[in-house]
A = this chain, B = another copy of it.
Amino acid sequence: MRKSPVTITDIAKNLNISPSTVSRALRNHPDISTRTKKRVNSLAEEMDYHPDSIAQSLKQRRTNLIGVIVPEIKHNFFAAAISGIEEIAYKAGYAIIVSQSNESYDRERINVRALISNRVAGLLISISQTTEQSDHFKLLERQEIPFVFFDRVCEDIEASKVVVDDFDGAFKAVEYLINSGYKRIAHIAGPKHLSISQCRLNGYLSALKKHKISYDENLVVYGGLNEEDGVKGFHRLLQLDQLPDALFAVNDPVAIGAFEKIKEHGFKIPEDIALIGFSNNPITRLIEPSLTTVSQPAYEVGKRAAELLIEQIKSGENFIPRKEMLKTELIIRNST
């Protein structure tokens, strides 16, 4: 059995005063004399006293914990977002509990429940690719636990949301392709029910429409969000009678999957086929040719989402959910 940590009562006994006094002394309560405060503080230091957050939380019915649920921590975008979240949370005196859904709805559910049990002050959630229901979020609403979606948001739940302007990013990307003279522009899209996929697809369609390019449904293929999906997507495009002359991928990993296959098949980028990704992963700058992409401020998204959540936690029930959209920027490089 581990030696139990020193408590406020230990200090009290040692000084022959009451635990209440110790508590107040440590929190610098005006009722306590300077002398007592000094004695308490120095003994606390000496005895390695650390306040028990657990007991405090129980008493005060609130914790200093913020729960975070992401599909995969490894994913560059989420790692950066978590970084931003931690930064803001730290400054506001919160610690973050991070869990990953591994793109599984079931696991996401379980994570939500676990975090509820841990009595988190609030949650930051980016939903999994397979999440098409929202009962677990309803649960949060019923329990009146503040939560904010970021990046991959759930449209049918009323809650604050922080996203990047996916539509505009996609639009700018495709418009740039059009203006550069490309005619047959393909799109490897993401899972249909994810809002980011939809927005980016819509951006693609709008840009075509604006420039009076007729929409060819064969040029849009659907898949997931990983490299392998880029590989598969490109293979499907290869079946076409006539190859597209440009390719807009739903995100960078997909673009890179396609990128490799394109090169493997001996096509030149951008001469034979131009390529644009989405996210501005660090890697896109370094590949050859460097990849044109849409920058998506992951770190900022995390920070902003955390700020919004903390604001909501502080303001209580009369908080009106907001949706924030961060700007994207087209980073033009050599793949177009």
Residues of A at the B interface (CB closer than 8 Å) are 1-5, 48, 50-55, 57-58, 61, 63-65, 72-74, 76, 79-80, 82-83, 86-87, 90, 95-100, 113-119, 139, 142-145, 256, 259-260, 282-283, 286-288, 299, 316-317
The chain B residue sitting closest to A55, CB to CB, is: B58
B143 touches A3 (CB 8 A): yes
A80 to chain B, nearest CB (A): 5
Picked from B86, B100, B286, the residue with its CB within 8 Å of the CB of A99 is: B86
Besides A64-B118, A65-B118, A286-B287, 14 more A-B contacts (Cβ < 8 Å) are: A5-B116, A48-B139, A48-B142, A50-B117, A51-B117, A52-B58, A54-B58, A54-B63, A73-B79, A73-B82, A74-B80, A96-B98, A259-B286, A286-B286
CA distance A64 to B114 in the complex (A): 10
Query: A82-B73, A86-B98, A95-B114 given as contacts; is B52 within 8 A of A119 (CB)?
Result: yes
A2 touches B73 (CB 8 A): no
A65 / chain B contacts, CB cutoff of 8 Å:
97, 118
* Chain B residues with CB below 8 A from A87, complex form: 100
Which residues from chain B contact A53 at a C-beta distance below 8 Å? 117-119
CB contacts (< 8 Å) of A317 on chain B: these are 1-2
Min distance, Cβ A91 to any Cβ of chain B, angstroms: 11
Contacts of A100 in B (CB 8 A): 83, 86-87, 90
Is the beta-carbon distance between B63 and A74 smaller than 8 angstroms? no
In the bound assembly, the distance between CA atoms of A195 and B73 in angstroms comes to 26
What are 27 of the A-B contact pairs (CB < 8 Å)? A1-B316, A2-B144, A2-B145, A5-B116, A5-B119, A48-B139, A48-B142, A48-B143, A50-B116, A51-B117, A53-B117, A54-B54, A54-B58, A54-B119, A65-B118, A72-B83, A73-B83, A76-B76, A79-B79, A90-B100, A95-B97, A95-B114, A96-B97, A97-B97, A259-B286, A260-B286, A287-B288
